[in-house]
């Protein structure tokens, strides 16, 4: 619990600089490949952060142009789809960045299956938001829906397995 509070505190105050400091302090004790992972994760974090800033700026600009400067213009369905697609793009990028930051803290291994599945679910949700069902083949919609259900099932199974492993670890530490 204290670790979560500490992590949330870091998220609100100077996380980027803290990551650099934390990486610099751990650098001497890391092996060659661990250093490589840390360097790549740092580069990706800054690149994705830049992407998030640009995507958010584009979202704000689109909102201002479409709805603030033309408040009495009727809002089209495609306009809503576009805005929600942009919002989902920012959320997907944020989730990617969160996954990479956990690598920088060396809390998780390089690939976390649950995070990858979550990002895929977000991408599929974005696709369903922006898709034009009138021009899409029914078989394509069925395929997307099947993929979404399969990802949801896999996510549930992975999460359930993680909960069982955590409960098993808790039980084994309390009995010792």
Is residue 92's pLDDT more than 70? yes
- pLDDT tens for residues 156-168? 988 888 778 777 7
What local confidence, expressed as pLDDT, does residue 77 receive?
Answer: 78
- pLDDT tens for residues 118-156? 899 999 989 988 888 888 899 999 999 999 999 999 989
Is residue 69's pLDDT more than 90? no
End-to-end CA distance of the chain: 22
- pLDDT tens for residues 8-38? 445 445 555 666 777 777 778 878 888 888 8
CA atoms lying within 13 Å on the CB side of residue 172: 6
Angstrom CA distances, 139 to 68, 133, 142, 143, 154, stand at 39, 11, 5, 6, 22
């Amino acid at each position: 619990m204290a670790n979560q509070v500490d992590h949330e505190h870091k998220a609100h105050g100077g996380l980027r600089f803290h990551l650099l400091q934390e990486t610099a302090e751990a650098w001497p004790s890391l092996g060659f490949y661990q250093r490589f992972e840390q360097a790549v994760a740092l580069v990706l974090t800054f690149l994705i952060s830049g992407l998030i800033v640009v995507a958010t700026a584009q979202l704000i600009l689109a909102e201002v142009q479409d709805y603030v400067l033309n408040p009495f213009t009727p809002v089209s369905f495609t306009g809503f789809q576009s805005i929600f697609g942009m919002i989902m793009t920012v959320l997907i990028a944020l989730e990617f960045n969160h996954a990479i930051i956990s690598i920088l803290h060396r809390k998780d291994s390089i690939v976390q299956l649950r995070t990858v599945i979550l990002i895929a679910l977000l991408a599929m949700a974005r696709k369903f938001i922006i898709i034009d069902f009138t021009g899409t083949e029914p078989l394509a919609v069925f395929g997307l829906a099947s993929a979404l259900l399969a990802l949801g099932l896999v996510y549930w199974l992975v999460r359930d397995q993680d909960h069982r492993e955590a409960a098993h670890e808790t039980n084994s530490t309390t009995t010792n």
